[in-house]
Structure 1
Amino acid sequence: MTFKPAEWPRKLRSQEWYGGNSRDTIYHRGWMKNQGYPHDLFDGRPIIGIMNTWSDLTPCNGHLRELAEKVKAGIWEAGGFPVEVPVFSASENTFRPTAMMFRNLAALSIEEQLRGQPIDGAVLMVGCDKTTPSLLMAAASCDVPSIVVTGGPMLNGYFRGERVGSGTHLWKFSEAVKAGEMTQEEFLEAEQGMSRSSGTCNTMGTASTMASMAEALGMALSGNAAIPAVDSRRRVMAQMSGRRIVQMVKDDLKPSDIMTKQAFENAIRTNGAIGGSTNAVIHLLAIAGRVPGVDLTLDDWDRCGRDVETIVNLMPSGEYLMEEFFYAGGLPVVLKRLGEAGLLHKDALTVSGETIWDEVADVMNHNEDVIRPVGQGLTPQGGIAVLKGNLAPNGAVLKPSAASKHLMQHRGRAVVFEDIDDYKAKINDPDLDIDETCVMVLKNCGPKGYPGMSEVGNMGLPPKVLQKGITDMVRISDARMSGTAYGTVILHTSPEAAAGGPLAVVRNGDMIEVDVAGRRVHLDITDEELVARLAEWKPAHEQFESGYGWLHQQHVEGADTGADLDFLKGCRGNAVGKDAH
């Protein structure tokens, strides 16, 4: 792709606040000077907003204040004027009912902060799962020059000599306790080694997946995704990104120049190669929905990712953790392998001003067991599988690299849970009529139903099954699952139950057929029976009467289009509004 930088110098949008000597300009500029800024800082140099998702209640991002200082240093060095802006931070591990309910609220608030303040360019300080998509959605909606700086993953966890992957081993050890294979005391001992440094999950969970998506989209400097949070090279990356954003503003290099349809196709293929989170589906669809001229659909995920091998040997699909991924060469090596296999749009532009292929053509792989050669992957079809049928007319997704091969084609009796509370009330009951051949069905956990679409789709198996040594069953829901999770789990079933989708009328004892190779999920009843059941259906999910919960339920779209709020889709630009003073 050829990009023609804008002529420099030129008038920047921040000069609408600070340029000249009018009463209004002096009002804006004068108040800023109470912090001790010299007059010449307002002379037309780029003002860079460091949009920081630091919060004590977002532990994955708890180190971003210190990292922001390195960003500031880079901005100063390049002749810019850094201003740090605290923004909405949706923590995956503290927000209730689920952080996903607030991704769109965060995107809305950050978009208006970008648009309504004197910011010429933005550094998006991200880490925890929802912070990356929410800031990218906001940047795309405003189309202000922007660059992603990720906080990075935490160091490897260890328990009695075994690598412990954050999230992945939480699920594994929890099931082991229920199966009687691990004591509660051992579980508590393992907890101490799970999160032993600053940073996001050390598995290829959603945080590391979205960091990889940002890099594959071209919205972060090459190598940004995998550097551990506490590695000195993470601070160097932050400082170099600070330098780079100043030039991006001068060149007027915007998200719409970088996040093209080709860039999204690169990201989809990258997700397959790394064994990335199913959450990337919903987030990339939402981001694309904000970029002018990009029409990304669920079908693109199947078309682009279907034949991509998973070559990154990381938990939950594989053996290693993000530390080893970084030492092996990180995402640049993966992108190079995709390019060599003809699976990369090599001329896609990045924030560096260079093409993605220019960035990775000369990198080396330092561990071929961590990043495997093409032809020796963990699975030949690592991309997200999009299933359709009468149970999911608008689609559902499954992650083949985390699923069990023997369950990829299956027919079983439905055991239905009407919502997450129903599941919790029944799952440990020894009299529950269930065995390993059944299909577990969870309803009312989608964008409207939970509300917010929580990560409960990887339902824990009943103890009576676990005690037989069974570790996986087919599970179907309209929920999401953590990127650190694993299993033959069909997610994002659309339309969701709370919107009157067919999932809402599945009954105990119905037979369900799953054929991943054939991309089919089918409720084995007649069309007439399905129509009759849907005609009788009445919503049973919690419904808000006021506040953001009401706004969310009234306006959230389905998972198949990204679960954005309908009135937030599209690019609204960064036009400067009228000054009220």
Structure 2
Amino acid sequence: MPGADPLLKTRTKGVGPVGQLPVSKEQLREAPSGDLFGLTQNAGMGWRASEIGRDPYLIISTAGGLRHPDGSPIALGYHTGHWEIDRLVKIAAETFSAEGALPFAAACSDPCDGRSQGTTGMFDSLPYRNDAATTMRRLIRSLPRRKGVLGIATCDKGLPATLLALAGSGDLPGVIVPGGVTLPAEGGEDAGKVQTIGARFAQGAISYDYAVDMGCKACGSPGGGCQFLGTAATSQVVSEAMGLSLPHSALCPSGEPVWKDLAKRSAIALLRLSEAGITVSDILTQKAIDNAMIVHAAFGGSTNLLLHISAIAHTAGLRTPVVEDWTRVNRSTPRLVDALPNGPRNHPTVQVFMAGGVPEVMLHLREMGLLHLDALTSTGQSLGENLAWWEKSDARSQALERLRELDKVDPEEVIFGPAYAREKGYTSALVFPTGNIAPDGSVIKATSIDPTMVDQENCFHHEGKARVFASESAAIKAIKSKGKDAINKGDVIVLIGCGPTGTGMEETYQLTSALKHLSWGKHVPVLTDARFSGVSTGACIGHIGPEALAGGPIGKLRDGDRIEIHIDRNELTGSINFLGTDEGDPLSASDAADVLQKRETHSSVSPHPQLPDDTRLWAALQDVSGGTWNGCVYDVDKIIETLEAGKKAIAESREPQEDS
């Protein structure tokens, strides 16, 4: 019950703001009431009356948690990726104000894929992206007089959502500020490896004391995305490659002076774009999409960007990349970055930044003639002009020297040219296997296969018996087991029913990360209709379509079935085939396909009983819109057309039938 003292100190009236609305008589007569009331609200929130009519600029961020002015927690955020970006919002807002603009700030925070791994929270991960993008676009439109939008975001779904929000606001000037990366912790494991302490302890690979010690010290700074080139880091790279972020902004270390300076420069860049009348649609063109795909390939980025780049293209009204486009790009673009998890040295993302980041990679791609150099960027200049500046800039020379000085790392071993890549045998990243298990396609990051599992022809070949699981929890239990149900060297884990309809297309990082850090794990491939974390490694093949719940062949596999996997990392081709049940008398791929066609879907396959209705709706809408290979988007025209066809069919079925 409330005490009396707080009530005795409670007011029922207050002194209103001092000043007058800066509007003319003509504005009073003709302006929408919302414009006028907006000014009243500006004054009511305490802004100086003489300035409440300035041009408004919106800062939309994914900031989460609540921090004390000294940086200590008052209420925790979900993850480090949104924990410090309120500081970027503050710097940007102060810059807008100092430049004569009126800053507004709104936030649509984001979940942590790492926190939800192996839990039902993962069922909301990918659907969140669509919902957040919708919310952000609604917030943008709900500030009717906004002159531009500054998006500030960091991580796996928050940054793609922000990119989608700007892509859908193409008539406005817009700039993205990537939230940067976390510093590695001295004496600690990286944020990817540390997620495997449970599996390693269960298998006796580490002690209890080691597990709890390492589990506490993975983050060398309180903010930023994880230190590996996963989905968060790759999204930052792609944002810069598209021209929506300033040069050398992706993978900037959170909290450091260069990170703070980025917020100020990005706010000024947005004001300059507005003055010049340059909008998002002027920057986000088909050439920008192509450049992003090329840079993605050169970095060896996360497979999740197949979903996000396609979704961004769709939202911007551009042509959506298809598998043939991705294959073409990866065949023409060598991998030029050594970053965790692609290796072999596994440099953390902050070292990639200090080695020159995106513009340094683009210098090599420019020399190869792969980029659209005339593409416009957030600087107001072309990509070619940006790269000409970067090549001779003090920022470039200082970053490279700082990396040598602090970490004793040669920048050319982090980011290198195509000749070095050929000499070291570094190949392009993505392969899209097909076969009787994946007639609609699948994807594997071929560079993440353990090099000891690849033959002299740079091919991975594996044949083994299927171990079929209809839930990730059952699969990880088998990985941790040491008994008769344990996974054995040479088995093929087949995880089914985990596509969009089953689990919201969950990530399965706890499986792939555990296998990476167990001595026998490199001998166990994974096939699934789910997806992977960007830091996943090994012979893991995901996005297999059709998904099991759509009648896909993967859902008809059984324990003991013979599976053959072939990945050619030179030709960037691959296949995954069911070969029957007899190891000594394998069937041809076509004959085995006939066997699968006659089988029923595995009896264990069904939507997860805790799949939220929100996610079920998302799964249905994205399926009508083209599914995972179209980016899991909402194609409104297709959805309406399908609904109208359904309504018509229902109406026709109710019409009285004439007697024959």
Q: Report the TM range for the smaller structure's normalisation.
A: 0.7 to 0.9
Deviation of 1:389 after TM superposition, in Å, equals: 2.1
3-state DSSP of counterpart to 1:556: helix
| Greater alpha carbon shift after TM alignment, 287-296 vs 364-373 | 364-373
- Of residues 50, 55, 64 in structure 1, which corresponds to 2:64? 55
Matched, 1:185 2:229: no
| Greater alpha carbon shift after TM alignment, 253-262 vs 208-217 | 253-262
- Of residues 565, 570, 584 in structure 2, which corresponds to 1:514? 565
Match in the other structure for 1:560: 629
Match in the other structure for 2:219: 195
CA distance, structure 2, for counterparts of residue 523 and residue 345 of structure 1: 42
Question: Deviation per CA, 1:305-334, whole angstroms, max 9, x where unpaired?
Answer: 234222212111122112222222222101
CA distance, structure 2, for counterparts of residue 243 and residue 533 of structure 1: 62
Over the residues paired in the alignment, what is the CA RMSD in angstroms? 2.8
- Of residues 433, 437, 441 in structure 2, which corresponds to 1:395? 441
Q: In 2 relative to 1, CA 185–89 (structure 1 residues): closer, same or farther, beyond 3 Å? A: same
Q: In 2 relative to 1, CA 381–261 (structure 1 residues): closer, same or farther, beyond 3 Å? A: farther
- Retained in 2: the 8 A contact 1:145–1:249? yes
Deviation of 1:519 after TM superposition, in Å, equals: 2.5
3-state DSSP of counterpart to 1:381: coil
Matched, 1:486 2:486: no
Match in the other structure for 2:490: 437
Matched, 1:69 2:69: no
Larger Rg: 2
Q: In 2 relative to 1, CA 133–340 (structure 1 residues): closer, same or farther, beyond 3 Å? A: same
Matched, 1:385 2:431: yes
- Of residues 447, 469, 474 in structure 2, which corresponds to 1:417? 469
Q: In 2 relative to 1, CA 524–40 (structure 1 residues): closer, same or farther, beyond 3 Å? A: farther
CA distance, structure 1, for counterparts of residue 245 and residue 354 of structure 2: 19
Match in the other structure for 2:606: 540
3-state DSSP of counterpart to 1:220: coil
Q: In 2 relative to 1, CA 536–550 (structure 1 residues): closer, same or farther, beyond 3 Å? A: closer
CA distance, structure 2, for counterparts of residue 166 and residue 122 of structure 1: 32
CA distance, structure 2, for counterparts of residue 460 and residue 27 of structure 1: 54
3-state DSSP of counterpart to 1:314: coil
Match in the other structure for 1:477: 528
Q: In 2 relative to 1, CA 280–569 (structure 1 residues): closer, same or farther, beyond 3 Å? A: farther
CA distance, structure 1, for counterparts of residue 521 and residue 609 of structure 2: 37
The structure, 1 or 2, with the larger RCO (C-alpha pairs under 8 Å, 6+ apart) is 1
- Of residues 579, 595, 600 in structure 2, which corresponds to 1:524? 579
Deviation of 1:207 after TM superposition, in Å, equals: 1.1
- Of residues 87, 98, 105 in structure 1, which corresponds to 2:108? 87
Question: Deviation per CA, 1:84-108, whole angstroms, max 9, x where unpaired?
Answer: 1122423323451342231111111
CA distance, structure 1, for counterparts of residue 326 and residue 285 of structure 2: 15
Deviation of 1:76 after TM superposition, in Å, equals: 2.4
Identity %: 25
Match in the other structure for 1:575: none
Question: Deviation per CA, 1:105-161, whole angstroms, max 9, x where unpaired?
Answer: 1111112111232233111110121111111112212323211111110112232xx
CA distance, structure 1, for counterparts of residue 555 and residue 42 of structure 2: 55
CA distance, structure 2, for counterparts of residue 85 and residue 540 of structure 1: 39
Question: Deviation per CA, 1:500-531, whole angstroms, max 9, x where unpaired?
Answer: 22211111122222222233222235333222
TM-score (norm 2): 0.77
CA distance, structure 1, for counterparts of residue 363 and residue 28 of structure 2: 45
State the one-letter code of the partner of 2:462.
Answer: H
Match in the other structure for 1:128: 155
Deviation of 1:226 after TM superposition, in Å, equals: 2.2
Q: In 2 relative to 1, CA 425–485 (structure 1 residues): closer, same or farther, beyond 3 Å? A: closer
CA distance, structure 1, for counterparts of residue 464 and residue 29 of structure 2: 69
State the one-letter code of the partner of 2:387.
Answer: V
Matches within 5 A, 1:251-290: 251-290=276-315
CA distance, structure 2, for counterparts of residue 490 and residue 478 of structure 1: 9
Deviation of 1:272 after TM superposition, in Å, equals: 2.1
Q: In 2 relative to 1, CA 472–131 (structure 1 residues): closer, same or farther, beyond 3 Å? A: farther
Could you tell me which runs of 5 or more consecutive residues in structure 2 were left unpaired when the two chains were aligned: 1-26, 66-76, 401-410, 455-459, 581-590, 640-660
3-state DSSP of counterpart to 1:376: helix
Deviation of 1:566 after TM superposition, in Å, equals: 4.1
- Of residues 160, 163, 179 in structure 2, which corresponds to 1:151? 179
- Retained in 2: the 8 A contact 1:168–1:203? no
CA distance, structure 1, for counterparts of residue 445 and residue 485 of structure 2: 28
- Retained in 1: the 8 A contact 2:555–2:602? no
- Retained in 2: the 8 A contact 1:307–1:380? no
Deviation of 1:55 after TM superposition, in Å, equals: 0.7
| Greater alpha carbon shift after TM alignment, 372-381 vs 228-237 | 372-381
Matches within 5 A, 1:286-305: 286-305=311-330
- Retained in 2: the 8 A contact 1:18–1:28? no
Question: Deviation per CA, 1:175-201, whole angstroms, max 9, x where unpaired?
Answer: 543443321211221123211212110
TM-score (norm 1): 0.87
Could you tell me which runs of 5 or more consecutive residues in structure 1 were left unpaired when the two chains were aligned: 1-16, 571-581
Match in the other structure for 1:26: 36
CA distance, structure 1, for counterparts of residue 225 and residue 505 of structure 2: 22
State the one-letter code of the partner of 2:61.
Answer: N
State the one-letter code of the partner of 1:187.
Answer: A
